[in-house]
Chains A and B, each alone.
Chain A
Amino acid sequence: MTEHDSPLVRDADETNDRRPGTPRRGTGFLDELSTLPTTPSATVGPYLAIGLTWPDGPFAVAEGTPGAVWLRGRVLDGNGDVVPDAMVETWQADSEGRFAHPDDPRGAVTTPGFRGFGRSSTGDGEYAVCTLKPGPVPDGDGGWQAPHVDVSVFARGLLDRVVTRIYFADEAEANAADPVLTALSEADRSTLVAQPSEDGWRLDVHLQGDAETVFFAV
């Protein structure tokens, strides 16, 4: 992890350090001119299954890959009812903390059969994604993020996706040092931590309610 050929990587230096009162690298706050405004989002609506169903959607890693686990959970609304027409998408690093993407400055992932992306409807009552438990990922500032999965939830009744993360209960030490988790209260952190299950990990997403999941603005 100390040698990089990518032009995206270089030693931290003064120009990369955050100066007090200025946005930190990677926070992405809008402080530059842009020429085109973005296209506004809209709900996926109730008929998303027509356009967004893939037979291999749930498989972020090929079925049968050693170490593969299932991430599962329900999506619940403010009445505590299961949302049966949502779509959950996941994006994550592999077991070595690498991404199947050319912008990973350390080089693209090498785990065979690892796509890193999962897509599951909740039509069976819960989402289910077959994947590898991710490894720790550099935080870009010389530290590490605990193993995590980025999650998007789409549904009728959501005009934009909502974004959250899945962390893992067996990573207590890494979770305690994670820059995202440590910025949250203990109660909020618990909404992001999956618990072990018989075939992998389980975390419910609460769109509303006393246990409302922490959602992120990206």
Chain B
Amino acid sequence: MTGTPTSRGLVLPRYLREDADQRTPVGFPGYRSTGVRAPLRTPVDLPHRLTEVTGPVLGEDRVVAGDGDLTLRAGGEAQGQRIIVFGRVLDTGGRPVPGALLEIWQANAAGRYRHVVDNWPAPLDPHFDGLGRVVTDPVGRYEFTTIKPGAYPWGNHHNAWRPAHIHFSLFGTAFTQRLVTQMYFPGDPLFGQDPIFTAIPPTARDRAIATFDLSRTQPDWALAFEWDIVLRGVEQTPFETGDDGDVA
């Protein structure tokens, strides 16, 4: 770094901020463990500068063959209802996000995670570890083959059950776009009693629920659920030249 401060500005992509009433709050009274963990002070607005408009470039180098099929592990087939989970990763401008790493994890068909702190009395499956990774294709599409996870009880409140869900983690292409979330299945009767689901603003809840897609089921093989994921996009500012649009 030889530079001294210059008068030049760097023209950077500008990521849209979401309305607070469309975002999941960090803390939620019904979700008990947010009580001592969710920060209590109002976060400070951080302008989007170089550190925020860049982010880790993670793609095929994080994925090995077979990572997209969770039903074949340790030399055998997982128990449960085989499903295909597919969709697109888009930004808020509708532009596909290609080459994006998706990491997923989930419980097995009985609702049990292969994790040391999950010890409720449901069976583990020797052929299911619950970990998947894929990279979106050039038009932003992704697809996993897995089994439908089971619901499971947890200690948040009396007789609390988590609706069936798959955890998703995505980076997009910028620090601002980082998203960790959960995908739910349509029509789950457990939604209403689950504070992790009901913490989502009511108008945004549908966006966390996959859609059953008969056309993508595979006869004699697997059901199919579609779930598009939308990351924050780059603002198109009309009084700027077209250059800025190229960074999306």
Contact = CB atoms under 8 A, between A and B. Distances in A.
Contact of B25 (A24, A32, A52, A159): A159
A163 interface: yes
A32 B15 CA distance: 11
Secondary structure at the B interface, as helix, strand, loop or mixed, is loop
A92 B50 CA distance: 10
B247 A103 contact: yes
Contacts, number: 322
Interface in B95-115: 103-105, 107, 113-115
A123 B131 CA distance: 19
B23 A41 contact: yes
Given A11-B8, A15-B240, A47-B115, A42 B34 contact: no
Contacts of B174: 103
Contact of B23 (A51, A99, A160): A160
Given A79-B36, A161-B180, A27 B50 contact: no
Nearest to B240: A15
A214 B43 CA distance: 7
Contact of B167 (A9, A44, A135): A44
A25 B9 contact: yes
A24 B47 contact: yes
Nearest to A8: B11
Contact of B230 (A38, A42, A157, A217): A38
B169 to A, nearest CB: 6
B78 interface: no
Contact of A7 (B7, B114, B243): B243
A36 B26 contact: no
Interface stretch (A124-132, A141-149, A196-204): A141-149
Nearest to B248: A103
Contact of B51 (A49, A142, A148, A159): A148
A216 B207 contact: no
Contacts of A184: 44
Nearest to A3: B8
A135 B158 CA distance: 51
B72 interface: no
Interface in A57-109: 77-79, 81, 83, 85, 89, 91-93, 96-97, 99-106
A65 B7 CA distance: 34
A158 interface: yes
A8 B10 contact: yes
Interface residues of B, number: 104
Given A24-B47, A26-B14, A99-B54, A42 B24 contact: yes
B27 interface: yes
B56 interface: yes
B48 interface: yes
Interface string B40-56: 11011111111111111
A215 B43 CA distance: 5
Contact of B54 (A1, A27, A103): A103
Interface of A: 1-2, 4, 7-12, 15-16, 24-32, 34-52, 54, 77-79, 81, 83, 85, 89, 91-93, 96-97, 99-106, 115-117, 135-145, 148, 150, 152, 154-163, 165, 179-180, 183-184, 207-208, 212-218
27 contacts: A2-B6, A8-B244, A9-B10, A24-B47, A28-B16, A35-B94, A36-B91, A40-B23, A42-B180, A42-B182, A43-B196, A44-B167, A50-B114, A79-B36, A85-B117, A101-B56, A137-B50, A144-B5, A148-B51, A158-B26, A159-B34, A207-B38, A212-B39, A214-B41, A215-B39, A218-B46, A218-B176
Given A1-B1, A150-B175, A208-B39, 19 more contacts: A4-B8, A25-B11, A26-B14, A26-B47, A27-B47, A36-B91, A37-B92, A45-B182, A47-B105, A47-B167, A51-B132, A91-B175, A103-B247, A158-B26, A159-B26, A160-B23, A162-B26, A216-B44, A218-B176
Interface of B: 1-3, 5-19, 22-28, 31, 33-41, 43-58, 62, 90-94, 103-105, 107, 113-115, 117-118, 129-132, 167, 169, 173-176, 178-182, 196, 199-201, 204-205, 207-208, 228-233, 235-237, 239-240, 243-244, 246-247
